Amino acid sequence: MENVFKEIDYDTEFVTSCRKSHHPERVKKDLTTRLNRIEGQIRGIKGMIDKDVYCDDVITQLSATQSALNSVAKILLEGHLKGCVVDRLSEGDEEVLDELLVTIQKLMKK
């Protein structure tokens, strides 16, 4: 997975306010590309089911799709940590840590 956040200056490129994130354009483009690919995978899986494709083959595609979704989540989590969480902590808002724990627990359920 390419690190799309590697060279981002979070002071100028990642602006947060009132529980809203503004991802740099290249990150949005990368996420959109990944999500479009995932949509295609889902359509393919639906087609496989319609065509009565062997269950194991469908499960393999489901696993690949889940992995792709996890990659999107990792990118979003990284941006959240480097942008939103850092900003809120620097403002003295430690409540963000509890929110972060809940978010991580949601991701780990999968």
> What's the rounded mean pLDDT across residues 18-32?
85
Sign of the Cα torsion 66, 67, 68, 72 reads positive
What's the mean per-residue pLDDT of the chain? 87
93-95-97 Cα angle (round to 5): 105
Domain 10-108: assigned CATH number: 1.20.58.1000
At 57-110, the pLDDT tens digits run 999 999 999 999 999 999 999 999 999 899 999 999 999 999 999 999 999 986
Q: Is the pLDDT of residue 19 over 90?
A: no
Contact present, 90 and 11 (Cβ < 8 Å): no
Locate the domains of the chain by residue range: 10-108
Q: What is the 3-state secondary structure (H, E, C) of 20-86?
A: EEECCHHHHHHHHHHHHHHHHHHHHHHHHHHCCCCHHHHHHHHHHHHHHHHHHHHHHHHHHHHHHHH
pLDDT of residue 47: 99
pLDDT of residue 99: 94
